[in-house]
Amino acid sequence: MSSANGDRPLRVAIVGAGPAGIYAADILSKADVETSIDLFERLPAPYGLVRYGVAPDHPRIKQIVVALHKVLGRGEVRLLSNVDFGTDITLEELQRHYDAVVFSTGAIEDAPLAVPGVDLPESFGAADFVSWYDGHPDYPREWPLEASSVAVLGAGNVALDVARMLAKHADDLLTTEIPDNVHAGLKASKVTDVHVFARRGPAQAKFSPLELRELGHVRDVDVLVDPEDFDFDEGSEAAIASSNQTKQVVKTLTDWAMRESAGTASRRIHLHFLHAPQEIVGRDGHVVGLRTERTRLTGDGTVEGTGEVHEWDVQAVYRAVGYFGSPLPGVPFDAVKGVISNHEGRVVSPEGEQVPGLYCTGWIKRGPVGLIGHTKSDASETVRHLVADAAALPRATAPDPDAVVDFLRAKGVDVLTWNDWEVLDAYERALGEAQGRERVKVVPREDMVRYSREVLADAGAGS
């Protein structure tokens, strides 16, 4: 293994300790260049959207954490948590300590939806709701759940997660890592009906087959699909013929649409296709309905409006129309796409010139699309370019690994390490074990920091 930057290892900072950042660190640590890698995370806990973006009743997906834990547990990458880029440390300050910086901050904002009424108080972004029910420390502990009928806008897995979490009986989540305040909020919810709206047809839905089928197995929740919402054009038939996933999704939806019994459950999830949101209807400053326009397929899988308007009696609307990246101080940003301006992971200026030493990977690089497999290949591309550039990178003036930690602590930043996370992880698991669960999340940031510093004590202390 060679040293690409003289007589010392290449110093690399990776900002964001979700899957994208951890995969990039793993791949870089195995590259044919000697490296010293620090992984920065603004929260007191690592794992990003795997911890704070996956519904608690999907432990199968959360098993990704096992693989991420192995990478960080090897000790080849140093985790520095509870450090906020742009606040606790600036780009200029990072560049004093590192030869290269890789941004893997993801996309955590809700994509905009330009319809009247979107700013009403009961119009919610799905990303915010997901962060609440996953116990994200930067979100309020309470969530308003006064509506009995709710609309969810979107045709992807996030829309399914939101619909399922709203309709599911809260006590059925007690086997998961759901925080106590979230269980209490959902248990008091008045919801009986959740309406999910998709602009296009069943063959264009972005649900995964497994997630869709799981919806049909939620206790005391009926899934209803109106046969009138079904239509297939040449583009739809081509999609079904070319994709086994699409074929499975359409079969599941068709089976539900053809059922004769409406069901007897106390709660219902209604899946509506070929309905485009026109307006979130308000009265006296509150949501009282949703207005949609019936659409029709045009032959290639796209749709156009028909002029036929439908009114739906709902008291809250959740917008699950996609995620969007956030700009980072001092880093070129494409505000239209919601990504860092880049070419194959190399950050570029507004004029299209490569910015020396800056890179990106994951959703902040390519947008919020793709699965874990895409994240790995994405990281490989970025790391390949970084390694190719290594010999020409500007050299850090304070590369000693201790220097950046001393600098942060001198500023009053309470830097947490992998060992601190292991203490908090053990504490959460002990809380869960006392209740027959895998873990119970600690939610408030100050408690996360405090329990990271304490030797595991009485798990009955609560969160």
pLDDT tens sequence across 426-448: 999 999 999 999 899 999 999 99
43-60, pLDDT tens digit by residue? 999 999 999 998 999 877
Is residue 210 in a domain? yes
Query: Residue 455: what pLDDT?
Result: 58
Say if residue 357 is in the same domain as residue 250: no
Q: Is residue 124 part of a domain?
A: yes
- Percent above pLDDT 90 for the chain: 88
As beta bridge partners, residue 442 has none
Domain around 333: 10-108+325-416
Q: What is the pLDDT of residues 86-125, one digit of tens each?
A: 999 999 999 999 999 999 999 989 999 999 999 999 999 9
Q: Which of 270, 305, 323 is the last residue of a domain?
A: 323
Is 424 inside any structural domain? no
CATH of the domain at 65: 3.40.50.720
Domain count, the chain: 2
Residue 51 CB burial class (10 angstroms; 0-12, 13-18, ≥19):
buried
Q: Same structural domain for residues 74 and 90?
A: yes
One domain, residues 176 and 303: yes
State mean pLDDT over 378-390. 97
Domain boundary among 323, 338, 364: 323
294-353 pLDDT, tens digit each: 999 999 989 999 999 999 999 999 999 999 999 999 999 999 999 999 999 999 999 999
On whether both 337 and 364 belong to a single domain, the answer is: yes
Residue 439 placed within a domain: no
Band of residue 458 on the pLDDT scale cut at 50, 70, 90: very low
Confidence of residue 63 (pLDDT cuts 50, 70, 90): confident
Nearest C-alpha neighbor of 358 from the set 401, 393, 404: 393
**Can you give the pLDDT at residue 336?**
94
Residues 387 and 280 in one domain: no
Q: Is residue 461 part of a domain?
A: no
Q: Who contacts 256 (Cβ-Cβ below 8 Å, separation ≥6)?
A: 216, 223, 224, 225, 271
pLDDT at 3 over 90: no
Residues 180 and 298 in one domain: yes
Is the domain of 355 the same as that of 241?
A: no
In a domain, 456, yes or no: no
Other Cβ atoms less than 10 A from the Cβ of 153: the count is 27
The mean pLDDT of 137-165, rounded to a whole number, is 96
Domain boundary among 323, 340, 363: 323
Residues 250 and 231 grouped into a single domain: yes
pTM of the model: 0.92
Relative to beta strand 316-319, strand 323-324 is unpaired
* CA distance linking residue 103 with residue 90, whole number of Å: 13
**Domain identity same for 177 and 261:** yes
Clarify whether residues 267 and 378 are in a common domain: no
447 located within any domain: no
The answer on pLDDT for 463 being more than 80 is no
Q: Is the pLDDT of residue 207 over 60?
A: yes
* In a shared domain, residues 57 and 115: no
Pairwise CA distance, residues 209 & 251, whole Å: 9
The answer on 119 and 96 residing in a single domain is: no
Residue 228 sits in a domain of what CATH number? 3.50.50.60
Answer yes or no: is 457 within a domain: no
Average pLDDT, rounded, for the chain:
93
- Contact indicator for 39, 83 with CB cutoff of 8 Å: no
